[in-house]
Amino acid sequence: MIISVVSGKGGAGKTTLAASIAQIFEAEFYDLDVDAPNAEYYLQPHFSSKVPITQPVPVFSAERCDGCGICTKECRFHALYKILNTVYLTEPLCHGCGLCKMVCPQQAISYQDSSVGDIRSGHSRRTNNTVHVGDLVIGSTRGTYLISEMVKKIDPEKLSVIDGPPGNSCAAVAAIKPADLVVLVVEPTPFGFHDMQQTEQIVQQMGKKYLIIANKAMGDAEVDKFFRDKEKTAALTITLEDRYHKANLQGEILSQQFCEIYAGLRQVVSQELINR
């Protein structure tokens, strides 16, 4: 079973809770927040391998290309443009789909590999399982590609936890796509609730089973008020407390340090596992 932990905005505590869920269930962990992965801060894995990930990008033959521009018109991602009779590539926009090569009448396009990032893997004593971290090349816009390559490595027969990127981008959708269960973490503020509803709509449209956790709540009143007329309510509310914050700063996994966090997360996630 694959559990994806996501949030509509950054700072909601998604990684904190993903690490705790992985610790509770001794699950394999995939940090797909490839722009800024930081789950290793909590999981402290001993990395034993590093696999480079590349994506094919087009290369143009100066001898064959006559500058007709057909490839620039057909490129769905606007990665190609023409100045006079020369075609240029904006590499960060390229998705390596191969369409330009297919439509080129002069057969002037070939492909070469370009670095997207790396996947580091190692064992965490804290979760008693393997941790995989995706590192996107700085400045690259191809995070979705790296996430897709990491997702291919997930064994659906194992219990795995995904820490997805925040927000509602294509990268976030790619991290939700393989999930059997989505844990949607919301920071109970006006902005947090607004962004959560957008993510919830995406999860619903994808037909995913999900639960909501309200994290860093200043009491139950605001949470209860927001969910009062909603079809789906928060399965668990975690209050904003200094002791949780201090543990986070020290790199501790909350479920290891606080029995109420352990019990709450174990109960709501186990219930979904049983009902699967």
Q: Tell me how far apart the alpha carbons of residues 187 and 214 are, in angstroms, rounded to a whole number.
A: 6
Q: Is residue 264 part of a domain?
A: yes
- Residue 217 in domain: yes
Count the neighbouring beta carbons within 10 Å of the beta carbon of residue 235: 19
Question: What is the C-alpha separation between 91 and 86, in angstroms, rounded?
Answer: 16
Asked if 158 and 193 sit in the same domain, the reply is: yes
Evaluate whether residue 50 is within a structural domain. no
Q: Specify the CATH number for the domain of residue 83.
A: 3.30.70.20
Cα 41 to chain centroid distance, Å, stands at: 17
Q: How do residues 92-124 score in pLDDT, each as one tens digit? A: 888 888 999 999 999 999 999 989 999 999 999
pLDDT tens across 19-40, in order? 999 999 999 999 999 998 999 9
Span between the terminal Cα atoms of the chain, in Å = 9
| Choice among 58-62, 152-156, 195-199, 224-228 with the minimum mean pLDDT | 224-228
Structure tokens at 34: 């490839």
Is residue 175 located within the same domain as residue 249? yes
Say if 120 falls within a structural domain: no
How many helices and strands (H and E) does the chain possess?
11, 11
- Identify the domain boundary among 69, 94, 115: 115
> Which of 67, 94, 115 is the endpoint of a domain?
115
What integer best gives the mean pLDDT of the chain?
A: 91
DSSP conformation class of 261? H
In a domain, 233, yes or no: yes
- Domain enclosing residue 27, as ranges: 2-44+125-274
Query: What's the structural domain count of the chain?
Result: 2
Q: Is the pLDDT of residue 275 over 90?
A: no
Q: Is residue 234 part of a domain?
A: yes
My answer on whether 83 and 20 are in the same domain is: no
Give the pairing of strands 28-31 and 129-136.
parallel
Residue 221 has pLDDT above 90, yes or no: no
pTM exceeds cut of 0.85: yes
Percentage of the chain modeled with pLDDT above 90: 71
